[in-house]
Chain A
């Protein structure tokens, strides 16, 4: 249960990059994740980044900061970012922050933009 370590798997097809994140996203794990993801994005320069959250068991507001920061970078690179399969608890904090206004969240009906 005490797992603030993170792990990820990635899949690349042309300029689509799918990154599946594992574990818990909090302030403790965010710094490492941020550096890891930014390195990946700058290297691969995808036009579409899919962050698969299906294996994220916990996320607090540090995760919101992490996601918004990566969205900013993706926009600078001229690409889009999509969130995939957050569990209902993770979805709850995403929608509390209105994240569906800034990025596509799959499985969330009525997402604007």
Chain B
């Protein structure tokens, strides 16, 4: 991971063990970082939801109960944009396009809805997923804060 990207104003890096209690901790930490942009309740909830989805996928799918680390980087960029990456060194995704389709899930034990990527895609402005089988997955998403309130 590069130390600084173009237009970067602020940054937070987290590494959390892939255990389910960290789903709530991760989204609360990211929400805390994003508070500097004074997002409205919906924007904040959208971001929390997207982070929760990505981190849960690390725990449930990437490491599937085995010990592992979830790397979360949040960068504040010029133009009131937050860019969030969630990375794992887990099993990887065989077919990313298919995985991103609504309702697609490989989880059978839990009651997975297959809606995680759909939530990330709809609640954030941009979503990019890069994955290599046996290597891991990188989920990159960004959102401009205040967009819905512009011109009011």
Question: A: which residues have CB within 8 A of B?
Answer: 1-4, 24, 26-28, 30-31, 34, 58, 60-62, 64-66, 68-69, 88-89, 92-93, 96-97
Is A58 a contact of B45 with CB atoms below 8 Å? yes
Is residue B115 within 8 Å, beta carbon to beta carbon, of the partner chain?
Answer: yes
Q: Which residues of B contact A96 (CB under 8 A)?
A: 115, 118-119, 122
Assuming the contacts A65-B113, A93-B49, asked whether A60 and B56 have C-beta atoms less than 8 A apart, the reply is yes
Beyond the given A60-B49, A69-B111, could you list 7 further A-B residue pairs with CB under 8 A, ordered by the A residue number? A30-B110, A60-B52, A60-B56, A61-B115, A66-B111, A89-B41, A97-B115
Question: B: which residues have CB within 8 A of A?
Answer: 20-21, 23-25, 27-28, 31, 41-42, 45-46, 48-49, 52-53, 56, 59-60, 110-116, 118-119, 122
Assuming the contacts A89-B45, A96-B122, asked whether A26 and B111 have C-beta atoms less than 8 A apart, the reply is no
Q: How many A-B residue pairs have CB under 8 A?
A: 79
Is A26 a contact of B23 with CB atoms below 8 Å? yes
Contact of A4 among B23, B111, B114 (CB under 8 A): B23
Contact of B119 among A1, A4, A30, A61 (CB under 8 A): A61
Would you list 19 pairs from A and B whose C-beta atoms are within 8 A, ordered by A residue? A4-B20, A4-B23, A4-B24, A24-B24, A27-B20, A27-B23, A27-B56, A27-B110, A28-B20, A28-B23, A28-B24, A58-B52, A60-B53, A62-B112, A65-B113, A88-B42, A89-B42, A92-B42, A96-B122
Is A61 a contact of B113 with CB atoms below 8 Å? yes
User: How far is B25's CA from A24's CA once the two chains are assembled, in angstroms?
Assistant: 12
User: How far is B109's CA from A53's CA once the two chains are assembled, in angstroms?
Assistant: 25
Is B24 a contact of A65 with CB atoms below 8 Å? no
Contact of B115 among A28, A31, A64, A69 (CB under 8 A): A64
Is B113 a contact of A62 with CB atoms below 8 Å? yes
Closest residue of A by beta carbon distance from B117: A61
B71 to chain A, nearest CB (A): 19
A65 to chain B, nearest CB (A): 4
Assuming the contacts A4-B23, A61-B116, asked whether A30 and B111 have C-beta atoms less than 8 A apart, the reply is yes
